Structure 1
Amino acid sequence: MPSWFQKVRTAIAAAGILLLASCGSGSNTPQAAAQRTEFNIGWSIYAGWMPWPYAQQAGIVKKWADKYGIKINFVQVNDYVESVNQYTAGKLDGVTVTNMDALTIPAAGGKDSSAIVLGDYSDGNDGIMLKNAGSLADIKGRNVNLVEFSVSHYLLARGLESVNLKLADVKTVNTADADIVGAFTSPDVTAAVAWNPQLSEMKKQPGALLAFDSSKIPGEILDLMVVDSATLKANPALGKALAGIWYETLSLMQRDDAQGKAARTAMAKLAGTTLDTFDAQLATTHLYQKPAAAVAAMSAPEFATRMKRVRDFSYSQGLFGPGATSADAIGIAMPGTTLGNAANVKLRFDPTFMQLAADGKL
């Protein structure tokens, strides 16, 4: 029996396929959208995304929104998957999301989305936790609690590969990110996959072993700001403001002085943790601190190679929906190349606004 999460993904993907069929084919150009002055952006708790709500609290969002004559509301959604579902359903104009989930939820559902800020990659912020184990190989035959078909599922598959095991060698148990810490405290749960800040709490459990983490697969789990492509095309001021907000906030939080510490302390509080714990989470987050570095990373040949690996895994798990006949069904546009169907691009890695930040033209 598919989990509720798989059902939601399948329903969204099926709806997207029907939409494409009604239009005759996919499109390489975003649909037209109205010019607007107010936008809603969803976020959920994760170390690499805490600069966004802090920026709203600190007035940085208002500063950049005012510059472009718009208003931006950052909306917290306690459940990560629900935040992406709300974005896919059109209730949000943008959302903080990973590369895989941007592909398998909105893009697979027919929603044309643009990743305009490459914030970071997980460099240990996602991990596989075990109890009563000496190594990852001991996971064989166990139930594994995780957010099914998310990057946690992808990390599990990559970890299993490293010890010559397959997904068929374990049984996954779908668990919301908000519930994963509580689940891991149960004696019955001996294997789980999570991301920070939940991961750091799970490490504190007696006998817990971090058996595999994302530092073993650098650059594969990416954290993004994604916005609706049609909305962005009609309202480029939104992209400019978001880029300005992001890089000003990053510059502030990286400072080794009282102001930098105060910013990180506020972010830690928003995430429900302490400064020391938050700084430890940042240590396993490879932030692209400079816009030029993010543009270079997005434009590098290995970026497409890693996205192909993520895409192929997603298709193998049926996350493109029942109508997808190959991994090429959904087009993924990147600087200099398109992966998959160029006539049906639904996920765009667009460095335009990061480049404007790098050039000092925001």
Structure 2
Amino acid sequence: MKNKTLLITGGAGFIGSALVRHLIEITDYRVVNLDKLTYAGNLESLGPVSSNDRYVFEQVDICNAAEVARVFREHRPDAIMHLAAESHVDRSIDGPAAFIETNVTGTCVLLEAARAYWNELPEAEKTQFRFHHISTDEVYGSLGAEGLFSETSPYQPNSPYSASKASSDHMVRAWHETYGLPALITNCSNNYGPCQFPEKLVPLIILNALAGKPLPIYGKGDQIRDWLYVDDHARALLRVLETGRSGETYNIGGHNEKTNLEVVKTLCAILDQKRPDHPGGIGRYEELITHVTDRPGHDQRYAIDASKIEQELGWMPEETFESGMTKTVDWYLNNATWCQRVLDGSYRGERLGVIE
């Protein structure tokens, strides 16, 4: 009996590469990684599994309908997990068109390729097939001081990025309702962990601190996010794929609501312990904190109600905020070469998303 095949789009990205590593190391699935390899895609993140005979890489843009159809024909996936997306909010402010192209048009191309492929499957395989769309809690907009996002929260996206992801969520739901395509959607909170592109808060703070550079915090730093360790997210995604109900949405959160300022101070404290030889004669890394003009349309608070996935599917995060952040700092300290190669590319740690 052949191993089941999973098609992972965006498998060279941050969350995608964590998922691919998890699938190869923990399961017996055959994994086809379809990735365009933009600035945020990095095959080095897949080094531990790249030589495994159950792993295949296809460099393909999800907007290329002919190539996507070829991948379906050649690899015959039993399910697809769709993570390919433009995902950096600041970049969406600078250039929203790329987000519409990839996140909206690309998802449409993928859905149509999946539908054509699914329609031709034998009945038993049609029933088992799944299209799992991985999305974000940012589609729900901004919360006040109280309350949590649930699977029934209204969509109120406030950035070009979240608007494009909201659109892709709606399309997946529509393809399920209109065509019967067996689909699931997951909306997750802020991920952090190894191999994250350094535009994001956690790696940017770690790398800037080690270099003695300012640690930029938007506004007062009082924006609240729920923080989810990326390996916990990978476990949740697999659980949803294997045991979630078709047509359902599942919110995935880490039970770790922290302000951005709390996150930065936590990272500084961990670095004080692990790298006490501070750069530039400072006494503590916290001294590098610099408050900068807030991001346009910056949502104040996100918080996830993850009770549905916990009660229905039995998933819970394994990492606490402190253990996950410590593991993350350790990874960046031990993988300086990976970091340097990323920073040698087009991104230099500059501020993005400033409206002139």
TM-score between the two structures when normalised by the length of structure 1 = 0.26
More strand by percentage: 1
| TM-score normalised by L of structure 2 | 0.26
Higher RCO structure, 1 or 2 (CA under 8 Å, sep 6+) = 1
